[in-house]
Amino acid sequence: MEKKHVPYQNVPGPYGKSIEEIEVLSKMFFPFSKYNLELAVCVYDWTTGSFARNVFFKIFEYTGIPETPFPLDLPSIAEQIYTSNWGTYTPEDKDYMSSFMMKPAESLSDVQKQLANVSTKLHKLSTIENRVMSAAVQALPRTSIVSTPRLYSGQLDMRQLGLDHFGIEFFECHLNHGPVGDPLKIPFARFMESYVTSGKTLTTKAFWSSTNTMDLALKFSNGILLIFNPPQGSWVWDRVTLITPLSANEAVMEYTFLPGTQFNVQSVDCTKIKNKEVVVITLQLAHNSSGA
């Protein structure tokens, strides 16, 4: 926080919160902890451009290789940083690049060189922030299934990520076992055929954001709509909570699933929604979902 890599600086548009505003909220939501500000900041930061850093440094880990920390697919991370083209979140933008501990870059090779110098520190930052946010999410109030019987998520929720990156969001993908240097990327059709059929289980590597309406989820979809159902007999959602009050944009209802959440695949359908071809995957939160 002292070096202003966290939270994200100068959130564009009418969005964002000052540290003073976050501090007030931290005392409301985490009054039991002397680290309440850090807990609140990590949740808030996830709702800004920083979420790209946190996602990249989780999904591009080779989680099947028993090393601490897990090795990274750095060429793919560099490519994702460089090809970002969402609003001000571009490699030419000072604040976007600062979230990666870098300076603005005009070429992929520049991003690669800078990333090589900061990847160890960035990986550590991502790991720490994910742990703190996990604690924060688990401390927030549970969501009633009566009021919110289903949740929805449009995937993949960064424009530069393609369908062939969907599979690497899960621990089950065989590419997690490396070898290091093999790109973490699997053809979407192959992953779906091998891993996403009725009765299969999927376990997430990173946080996942969702919302309570299909229409809003579709705005963030690059071809996939996830529909989440709770376990039968449950009264509250487990491993997911509403984080909107701490968000940079309180107009969007955002529920966030913890990393390591397990889902059972219920169905897969290809359909057209509002003239858009969408793969609809219905998942049920597993009863034994306890993290990874």
The answer to whether 259 and 134 have CB atoms below 8 angstroms apart is yes
Q: Which of 24, 269, 291 is nearest to 137 (CA)?
A: 291
Distance (Å, rounded) from C-alpha 166 to C-alpha 114?
26
pLDDT averages per 10-residue partition of the chain, 292 residues:
78 91 98 97 96 96 97 98 93 96 98 98 96 97 96 91 96 98 98 97 98 94 96 95 97 97 98 92 85 50
**Pair type for strands 208-210 and 255-257:** antiparallel
Are 155 and 192 within 8 A, CB to CB?
A: no
Q: What is the pLDDT of residue 13?
A: 80
pLDDT at 241: 97
User: In angstroms, rounded to a whole number, what is the distance separating the alpha carbons of residues 163 and 196?
Assistant: 14
Q: Where exactly are the structural domains of the chain?
A: 19-139, 151-285
- pLDDT reported for residue 1: 57
Residue 179: asked if its preceding bond is cis (omega within 30°), the reply is: yes
Q: How far apart are CA 229 and CA 195, in angstroms?
A: 19
pLDDT given for residue 292 in this prediction: 47
Q: Hey, how many other C-beta atoms are within 10 angstroms of the C-beta on 221?
A: 21
E strands, the chain, where? 151-155, 201-203, 208-210, 224-229, 240-242, 255-257, 262-273, 276-285
How far is the C-alpha of 215 from the C-alpha of 209, rounded, in Å?
Answer: 15
SS3 assignment, position 86: strand
